[in-house]
Amino acid sequence: MSVLEVKNVDKYYGTGDIAIKVLDGVSFSVEQNEFTAIMGPSGSGKTTLLNMISTIDTVSAGNIFINGMDITEEDEDVLSEFRGENLGFIFQDFNLLDILTVRENIELSLSIKGEKPIMTLEEISKLLGITEILDKYPKHISGGEKQRCAFARAFINSPKLILADEPTGSLDSNASRTILKSMELLKEKGATILVVTHDAFVSAWCDRVLFLRDGKIWKDLYKSEKTNREFYNKIVETMSVLGGDINDF
């Protein structure tokens, strides 16, 4: 079952002679329990695409379906409720509230939806290894711990789709590895995850990588039976063929 369907999406900024086409006929789907990465050089349209899927931005043409609902046809009131019930968000800068403990940050997400989650706070905290820091404030924990808390907050409501924007961008290599293991654990619990990243190491943990180039899907790469190392090598090889400075991804 497709949790996400993107159909012939175009995105323009500006009008008339100064209009810039950022996305051009983008189509793909993400299946339930799939872990998918979007990669591409700077300016390829990956952040714009994520913003439209997250309902932050709107399409110029085409349709986006999440859990069967066409989000391009709904007004902001409907979308606001839809975001709370169906989407989980993970950002590079964590977005934890400093005046709340880790526990309270996660419980705040629960209070917004108001439904009994599939996993309790205690269960997900144990899964992600944050039980010992639940009563600490964000300023007293490390970046990696903050990001695991952000994952718990995103997953606690059992969203249909988790959207992650450079989730390891501000972390060191050891913390990044821990976060990726956390994402893998969430996937094992049924999460569907879409991540935008420039990092081939991150993408190597995914089931699939979509490469954008000049606003179009340039390559759709599947992991299949490859190990993380084998998939990493294939991703780097694809990036080199795609062109541009590898640091631009």
**pLDDT at position 218:** 95
**pLDDT at position 178:** 83
**pLDDT at position 92:** 74
**pLDDT at position 128:** 85
Backbone torsion region of residue 135, taken as left when φ is above 0, otherwise alpha when ψ lies between -120 and 50, otherwise beta = alpha
- Residue 28 near residue 217, CB atoms below 8 Å: yes
Query: Mind listing the domains of the chain with CATH numbers?
Result: 2-248 (3.40.50.300)
pTM: 0.86
Total residue count of the chain as it appears in this document: 249
CA 20, CA 109: separation in Å to the nearest integer?
37
**pLDDT at position 196:** 95
Confidence of residue 235 (pLDDT cuts 50, 70, 90): very high
- Residue 218 near residue 46, CB atoms below 8 Å: no
Handedness of CA 82, 87, 88, 92 (dihedral sign): negative
**pLDDT at position 247:** 58
**pLDDT at position 113:** 58
Q: How far is CA 165 from the centre of its chain?
A: 5
Reduce the DSSP state of residue 235 to 3 states and report it: helix
* Bridge partner residues of 193 (DSSP): 35, 162
Q: Each residue of 113-161: pLDDT tens digit?
A: 555 666 788 888 888 889 999 999 999 999 889 988 988 888 888 889 9
